[in-house]
Structure 1
């Protein structure tokens, strides 16, 4: 498939999925029939996502270890890690604060005047979702188990240990192992190309399934809430791109053009994993250093979830408004800090943001039944927040790569610098389009 035609074919698939889903929803005899029809569409979506997931674990492992070994000195690794974590934490605070500010400004739940039910059952399992469990879950019992379950955070932890260990072996052995890893990355990218051939089919099935069961009415009924959330995402996009412009200059628009495909892929499939291989390739075309991209991007998938952060704050305050529960500024500030902690380490969990919201509601004595208000339309939220996560990670990686390259250029020009010191400029402003 021609990569330039893929975004257009994805858009065609979205439109076809909406039309097909509406037809089946409109002409289904009853709700159970629509659900049964949707199950066949779900099969196509599941197959596509399974193919995506089968390449994620080896790709994350190979790229992250390759990034660590290519960085070289522990000082460089520590510097890049520090810059990445500063960016991730700052972006999370801004995203959460923006979500809380906008939901208080828009007040989408005010006027619903819902009565708190004595009990309600949700479909989200939050058993064991606490700080102790999260910290324990970070470290894998077995790398084979972590890879089989696509536990991204556990794979990242193992890859970091493996990369540090590999960086201390003899140089001749290091080169041979590094070459094997580089070839593994190339093989995984080729497999990715094959999997991407099925992207329009997976997108079509995902959209058709949602519309078949829920119809277009869900978009109309919750149009105000969805619209306000997407306005918030739009503002967040402007902030992300604006910060990118500050560091990258006009080259940020070149980056935006290159990452259009992975962002659209994440939006249409609601899966950031599906966009990961294409994001790496887009950053490589942009000129970002492989060693930084292969290290920072996997970390971003775990710690830098800008869209998810904003959604969680937005959803919790919306539920409080719907039940006429007044949250003071202090309570909302505590919610912000709590979400900062509990949202980390849930990468790879299905509908992780919903799980975080479901776990946070009882912490603040909010009705758990409020989750039912957003579950029905969470697919539409998930599409937007996933695309935002992909955008935020790509911009963060490009900025950190450029800053690291500029530091290497300065060090290379200092007296006594080694002639082997890398000094290639990652982003050439005069080449920006």
Structure 2
């Protein structure tokens, strides 16, 4: 009997979760029963992410060995991230101005959610200006940074440690071999953890639907449709053009990532697929030294789906309150989002935190977020999937930019991926 693939298993878990959530809508016992299953899955993922990121970056950087090459790679990566996320912000603003999802929304018909849990987090992040964000990249205690999941600090330490191993030559080989073994072992652990994914997806989506119900979408359906439509446009057109430059067909690329996209969408967590997309990008010819640096860094600096949504949601709130934002104010919003959306990916409800930190600075009422908090989880699912596509493609783009995209290897592993792959055989 043919074994059911992971994508189908996740699909089954997703559908069953929606059915169970809809049947037991507003039944608190559903969350009591399913929450531990969802939590176990998320904990399993968090357990493996840090060891994989550390070992992969150390191995990759030690392989590069040259600090000048690494600096050049880092500069190109940050430049690419900034350009693409700025385009995402602009696309979000254009969509909001074109479709007016907030115009005519009756606030009286909307249920106001409690956003106090986000406010304290926002107050903490607001003191961190642009300079402080970079100061905090340097950890004072790397063990503490690992415990807190502070990805930028972990990346910084891992890069320096990798350079240190490369600098001591022969003496560093046993240390490098240890981290190579750790990396391979953790990818094997990832495969074990993924067997639990359908159960985690079932639990997490069941809780979401039972809590909010399908009817929660009706008053804000225009915002949901505009958000998902704009994200689809961004992936197919904007990322499609970038993928074409890199020699990829965006639809085949999405098909290649279908398991990871389905998993990240249904769990609303990009962490769940970080190890797998790193592995898959290596399969299509991206060198480990680039993949292990670009993808983890992208989790803080390249949140395309999140930045697009933040711009769209800000204009939605302005329209809901009847506030007409001038071009100058919207340009100011772009500038503020370019800064506030960087470096806080590990914060819970990151898009809400960024919006809370941003709205006041452009004269918009932060209370408006309370009206869309109830459907944030449903929008977060789409944002997360777009973030995963953007970060996966970034590894391919930087690899090509550096002239290190292995076309022959890509043909051997995923021959259907590239329409022009035969030219490189």
TM-score, scaled to structure 1:
0.88
Q: How does 1:333-412 map to 2 (within 5 A)?
A: 333-406=331-404
Q: How does 1:136-175 map to 2 (within 5 A)?
A: 136-169=135-168, 171-175=169-173
3-state DSSP class of the match of 1:225? helix
* Aligned equivalents of 1:348, 1:235: Cα separation in 2: 27
Preserved CA contact (<8 Å) 2:42 2:272: yes
Runs of 4+ in 1 over 4 A off after TM superposition: 423-430
3-state DSSP class of the match of 2:116? coil
Say if 2:34 is the partner of 1:41. Answer: yes
Aligned to 1:420: none
Q: CA deviation at 1:40?
A: 2.9
Cα deviation digits, residues 11-38 of structure 1 (max 9, x gap): 111111110001111xxxxx5xx23432
Aligned to 2:84: 91
Aligned to 2:9: 9
3-state DSSP class of the match of 1:127? helix
* Aligned equivalents of 2:39, 2:179: Cα separation in 1: 29
Q: CA deviation at 1:166?
A: 2.3
Task: Answer with 6-15 or 122-131: which moved more.
Answer: 122-131
Cα deviation digits, residues 189-223 of structure 1 (max 9, x gap): 11111111110111011111011111110123322
Preserved CA contact (<8 Å) 1:255 1:286: no
* Aligned equivalents of 1:258, 1:121: Cα separation in 2: 38
* Aligned equivalents of 1:161, 1:53: Cα separation in 2: 23
RMSD: 2.3
Q: How does 1:174-253 map to 2 (within 5 A)?
A: 174-238=172-236, 239-250=238-249
Return 5+ residue gaps in structure 1 as ranges. Answer: 26-30, 408-422
Preserved CA contact (<8 Å) 1:65 1:160: yes
Preserved CA contact (<8 Å) 1:21 1:215: yes
Q: How does 1:67-78 map to 2 (within 5 A)?
A: 67-78=60-71
Cα deviation digits, residues 355-375 of structure 1 (max 9, x gap): 111111222232221111211
Q: CA deviation at 1:9?
A: 1.1
Task: Answer with 56-65 or 153-162: which moved more.
Answer: 153-162
Cα deviation digits, residues 138-161 of structure 1 (max 9, x gap): 332311111112111121121122
Aligned to 2:45: 52
* Aligned equivalents of 1:326, 1:219: Cα separation in 2: 25
Preserved CA contact (<8 Å) 2:38 2:201: yes
Q: CA deviation at 1:188?
A: 0.6
* Aligned equivalents of 1:254, 1:406: Cα separation in 2: 21
Return 5+ residue gaps in structure 2 as ranges. Answer: 109-113, 418-425
Across the two proteins, how many residue pairs are aligned to each other?
Answer: 405
Say if 2:123 is the partner of 1:127. Answer: yes
* Aligned equivalents of 1:164, 1:374: Cα separation in 2: 46
* Aligned equivalents of 2:258, 2:214: Cα separation in 1: 27
Preserved CA contact (<8 Å) 2:65 2:163: no
TM-score, scaled to structure 2:
0.89
Cα deviation digits, residues 46-100 of structure 1 (max 9, x gap): 1110110011111111111111111122232122222211210110110000001
